[in-house]
Structure 1
Amino acid sequence: MANNFSQRCPEMMALLRHTEDSIFFKDMDGRFVLVSESKARRSGVRWEDMIGKTDFDFLPQDEAIRCRDDEIFVMETGEAILDKEEELTRPDGSHTWVSVSKFPWKHTSGEIIGVIGISRNISKRKNLEHHILQMLSIATHDMRSPIVSIASTIKLLSRGRFGEVSESVKQTLNDVFNRMVKLEKIVGEYLTKSCVMNSTRVGRKEKLDLREDIIDPLLEEFSQEIENGEILIDNRLGGIPGDKIFISANKNWLVIVYRNLLSNAIRYTPRGGVIAYGFEDKGEMYQLNVFNSGQSIPEEKRKSIFEMYESESSTGIGLPVIRELVRRHGGDLWYEDSPGGHPNFVFTLPKE
């Protein structure tokens, strides 16, 4: 088929020869039919040597299975996978980050006959992200201690430890103290984020009361913003009021997930609107969500909100990071419109 294709489409063959992107055509069984010379070079062989073989001949088994699963999805659904970031192991043992897109390969009759894929090396970008996160970790670590020290001094001032203060001054000091506490939490969150993005391990899990340990403290933290926006909070979690809902998770990470989702919900909920927390038992998984009665996110922006440094969340890198947190717990996070056409962020967590 490769020879026939080269005769019918010399322009495509020229592209496959000269492009630096890795391009491939695979049949329904995952066998390479055509590949670019750059892909063959990165696989340590000539392009002719890849024809008729599969990813299982060039990648570790777990990576090959992952690639094959994606391609089966594309062929069965007819849907494309766009810009998926993957880490691949080269024949020499080195690791490379690529952004890969896969599309259904169709016959002129419209029948799907395989998969077309294109990937681009993004290792430099990933390394840059890694260095940025390292710098963020150092900066937030250095900032945290003086913030805690200043907050402690303000608290002592408000209690009259350095001399009597009037009620109006005490009120001002308490307000400044609360703002410093919130700032310390934000700095701590960024520190946790940088640790998360530089580690593949989930931190220590513990049994958490979802309402008592996570939801209620965050509602208290954002109480002023909620009051200013006249926002109604529905935190029944889809269960009978008073029921205990326990989640096995890393507390710091789960707080970050909910803090970002709540912060975004407050930001986009109109005055007098509603924010709701949901909960469903899905067997092996719990499904949770944060809903707000704001406007739906436009279709063209739903992908970019989960991309690093392109997110429109309140913290800039919030949504990409919290999705990573959820995935490392064994779940996933996504956006969908509610039946009324309002934003709804949904995520799953395993029960154990």
Structure 2
Amino acid sequence: MICIPFAGGREKFCIAFVSMADSPPWAEWGEEEESLLRIFSEMLGGVFERVGTARELQKERALFTTLMDNIPDHIYFKDSQSRFIRVNRAMYRDHGFERQEDVIGKTDFDLFTEEHARQAYADEQEIVRGGEPMVGKEEKETLPDGSVTWVSSTKLPLYDQDGRIVGTFGVSRDVTERKCAEEERRKLELQMQHAQRLESLGVLSGGIAHDFNNLLMGILGNLSLALGHVTQESPGWSNIKQAETAALRAAELTNQMLAYSGRSKPDFKPLNLTKLVREMSHLLEVSISKKIELRREFQDPIPLVDGDAAQIRQVIMNLITNASDAIGDRKGTITIKTALTDCSKSYLAGCYINDNLPAGPYVFLEVSDTGCGMDAKTMERMFDPFFTTKVRGRGLGLAAVLGIVRAHKGTLKVYSELGRGTTFRVLFPCSASGFESEESGREEEKPWRGEGLVLVVDDDEIIRGVSEQLLRKAGFDTICAPDGKSALETIRQKAGSLAAMLVDVTLPEMSGQELIERIRAIDCKTPVVLMSGYNEQTATENMKPGLYQAFVQKPFNMQALATAMKDAMKPAGS
């Protein structure tokens, strides 16, 4: 018997015992037999080694397949022509295939849009040519059905056993959630920056409102005084009247700045929409091209609406300007119309602002043009902030219109056709005040006159001077104080002899509110009229009730001041 080891590589892993049959125990093996047996053992060892290697390879392949098919990322192997030769389960299932074999031989052109497939093919051919990997490239994958995902892709060259590049190997990880989060964060940052800009604008606007309105007060007050020295038949009367109107519109611009910055709140009052548009007629005429005809179709009488006059004027101006731009340099027509209409629930549901508005009567303002019209895509975005089709547009006009109409609990209906023109219909709910009374519409009433001594408190010399003249023209005597300290001293000296006080809300060293509180400790009966560059709701937001009797916003004319003084001095309960 002979013992022979079976060699497998560098290690001997088996021993065979071989004996000669029918031979005596003392028989010996010759060198030739031993040599043959050694060759045989090496052959058997090679067979055993290959069997073991095949089993190991099978185990490794099963492990590799298990690993690939349990990774949620898309893993793929491609040949040199970017054809898939192997993909993992996540990839073929995400693309709607049941088996891996359904994807083999296909390209990105079969799975994605042409644009994405062309870019992927270019990237992979560059890797095949140069051998440089592409690491962490974020790209948008668009499927044929239009769905979009964002992936971070890493692609490497695929080598054969001789070291030649024969294709590419890639891993694509879905980062859509992260990209969406980044986009939301970017939007939030933009909103914060916008809020900061508005806050800065609010601080700036506060100073502008005060200083600019003081300047306008000097202009408007003197124009009002000048009107008192001429008759309507005078050649200069219409010029002064137009200048007065322009000064009032300039004051509204300041209020609009404050509204944009959040420093001014809407001042809702019953308004006659037809009357409001009529008052703007001259301004509308000069705001459009001379080639455009402006037509007016007004319903009169018409129910009142509750609104902020300055903001509704802004809506009208924005719609008229848009209509003019749509017509351009060509001849055309803009029609502005006011009327009362009855709106059903279904009609309101089809409007741009569907805030579950109640069915019923609505007063509408309609601006139509014979301009270029809008296509469906433009109409979808026309109210988006900063969206514009104009070369020098800012894209804020219609966005502001939408915000103002929503604040007035109204809605909009838009009709447009390319080449035919556009119609904007703005609907406002009717006011509980009903119709404008005949008395309120009369402008030729006898001017109200008062009497007595009025204390005027303002730190601006122009304001004090104009206010004094306006009050004297209304029948009052006046005395002035430039600040709170001087005002208190005057009140102590004139105790019991003052008929009323006209006090600015913004004063140096001592605010108007603080001054009035200290005045009331001395004199609790004399009527107080407040004046401010802000509207009443904003200027008196933190003021205790009962401290003042009337309010007038700067800049004001003779009629506005006389109305405020009359309201403040009327007997209680009248």
The aligned counterpart of 1:257 is 315
Unmatched tracts of structure 2, length 5 or more: 1-71, 73-88, 96-140, 142-148, 152-171, 227-233, 345-358, 432-574
Q: Is the 8 A contact 2:375 2:418 kept in 1?
A: no
In the TM superposition, what are the counterparts of 1:93-108 in structure 2 within 5 Å?
none
Q: Partners of 1:351 and 1:154 in 2: how far apart?
A: 36
The aligned counterpart of 1:275 is 335
**Code of the aligned partner of 1:264:** N
The aligned counterpart of 2:114 is none
Q: Does 1:332 align with 2:411?
A: yes
Deviation at 1:304, TM superposition (A): 4.3
Give CA-to-partner distance per residue, 1:171-226, whole Å, 9 cap, x none.
9988776655433322322222322xx89xx84543322212x3222224334345
Q: Partners of 1:150 and 1:331 in 2: how far apart?
A: 35
* TM value normalised by structure 2: 0.35
Deviation at 1:8, TM superposition (A): 0.9
Q: Is the 8 A contact 1:296 1:337 kept in 2?
A: yes
The aligned counterpart of 1:90 is none
Choose from 118, 133, 141 the match for 2:198. 133
Deviation at 1:342, TM superposition (A): 0.7
* TM value normalised by structure 1: 0.53
Q: Does 1:188 align with 2:255?
A: yes
Deviation at 1:123, TM superposition (A): 0.9
Q: Does 1:8 align with 2:93?
A: yes
Q: Is the alpha carbon distance of 1:208 and 1:172 closer, same or farther for their aligned partners in structure 2, counting shifts above 3 Å?
A: closer
Q: Secondary structure in 2 aligned to 1:235?
A: strand
**Code of the aligned partner of 1:194:** S
Q: Is the 8 A contact 1:337 1:343 kept in 2?
A: yes
Q: Is the 8 A contact 1:306 1:319 kept in 2?
A: yes
**Code of the aligned partner of 1:218:** M
Give CA-to-partner distance per residue, 1:36-83, whole Å, 9 cap, x none.
xx69xxxxxxxxxxxxxxxxxxxxxxxxxxxxxxxxxxxxxxxxxxxx
Asked which structure has the greater CA Rg, the reply is 2
Q: Is the alpha carbon distance of 1:258 and 1:5 closer, same or farther for their aligned partners in structure 2, counting shifts above 3 Å?
A: farther
Choose from 318, 340, 343 the match for 2:397. 318
Q: Is the 8 A contact 2:270 2:306 kept in 1?
A: yes
Q: Partners of 1:15 and 1:174 in 2: how far apart?
A: 71
The aligned counterpart of 2:293 is 231
Q: Is the alpha carbon distance of 1:334 and 1:154 closer, same or farther for their aligned partners in structure 2, counting shifts above 3 Å?
A: same
Q: Is the alpha carbon distance of 1:259 and 1:328 closer, same or farther for their aligned partners in structure 2, counting shifts above 3 Å?
A: same
Choose from 383, 391, 395 the match for 1:306. 383
**Code of the aligned partner of 1:136:** L
Choose from 289, 292, 301 the match for 1:243. 301
**Code of the aligned partner of 2:197:** I
**Code of the aligned partner of 1:325:** I
Q: Does 1:145 align with 2:201?
A: no
Deviation at 1:320, TM superposition (A): 0.9
Q: Is the 8 A contact 1:211 1:245 kept in 2?
A: no
Deviation at 1:323, TM superposition (A): 0.6
Q: Partners of 1:211 and 1:170 in 2: how far apart?
A: 25
Q: Partners of 1:157 and 1:204 in 2: how far apart?
A: 25
Q: Secondary structure in 1 aligned to 2:280?
A: helix
Q: Is the 8 A contact 1:140 1:188 kept in 2?
A: no
Q: Does 1:21 align with 2:179?
A: yes
The aligned counterpart of 2:269 is 206
Q: Partners of 2:296 and 2:410 in 1: how far apart?
A: 24
Unmatched tracts of structure 1, length 5 or more: 23-37, 40-96, 99-119, 161-166
Q: Secondary structure in 2 aligned to 1:122?
A: helix
The aligned counterpart of 2:146 is none
Choose from 278, 290, 312 the match for 1:216. 278
Q: Between Structure 1 and Structure 2, how many residues are aligned?
A: 243
Deviation at 1:266, TM superposition (A): 3.8
Aligned CA-pair RMSD: 4.3
Q: Secondary structure in 1 aligned to 2:205?
A: helix
Q: Is the 8 A contact 2:373 2:419 kept in 1?
A: no
Bigger mean CA deviation after superposition, 10-19 or 300-309: 10-19
Give CA-to-partner distance per residue, 1:298-350, whole Å, 9 cap, x none.
54433443222334597752211221222233343354316982122233444
Q: Is the alpha carbon distance of 1:184 and 1:271 closer, same or farther for their aligned partners in structure 2, counting shifts above 3 Å?
A: farther
Q: Is the alpha carbon distance of 1:248 and 1:218 closer, same or farther for their aligned partners in structure 2, counting shifts above 3 Å?
A: same
Give CA-to-partner distance per residue, 1:86-105, whole Å, 9 cap, x none.
xxxxxxxxxxx95xxxxxxx
Q: Is the alpha carbon distance of 1:257 and 1:224 closer, same or farther for their aligned partners in structure 2, counting shifts above 3 Å?
A: closer
Q: Is the alpha carbon distance of 1:175 and 1:281 closer, same or farther for their aligned partners in structure 2, counting shifts above 3 Å?
A: closer
Q: Is the alpha carbon distance of 1:150 and 1:18 closer, same or farther for their aligned partners in structure 2, counting shifts above 3 Å?
A: closer
Q: Partners of 2:273 and 2:239 in 1: how far apart?
A: 33
Q: Partners of 2:218 and 2:408 in 1: how far apart?
A: 38
Q: Does 1:291 align with 2:368?
A: yes
Percent identity between matched residues is 16
Q: Is the alpha carbon distance of 1:333 and 1:130 closer, same or farther for their aligned partners in structure 2, counting shifts above 3 Å?
A: farther
Q: Is the alpha carbon distance of 1:152 and 1:252 closer, same or farther for their aligned partners in structure 2, counting shifts above 3 Å?
A: closer
Q: Partners of 1:265 and 1:157 in 2: how far apart?
A: 33
Q: Is the 8 A contact 1:278 1:290 kept in 2?
A: no
**Code of the aligned partner of 2:307:** A
Q: Is the alpha carbon distance of 1:174 and 1:207 closer, same or farther for their aligned partners in structure 2, counting shifts above 3 Å?
A: closer
Deviation at 1:297, TM superposition (A): 3.2
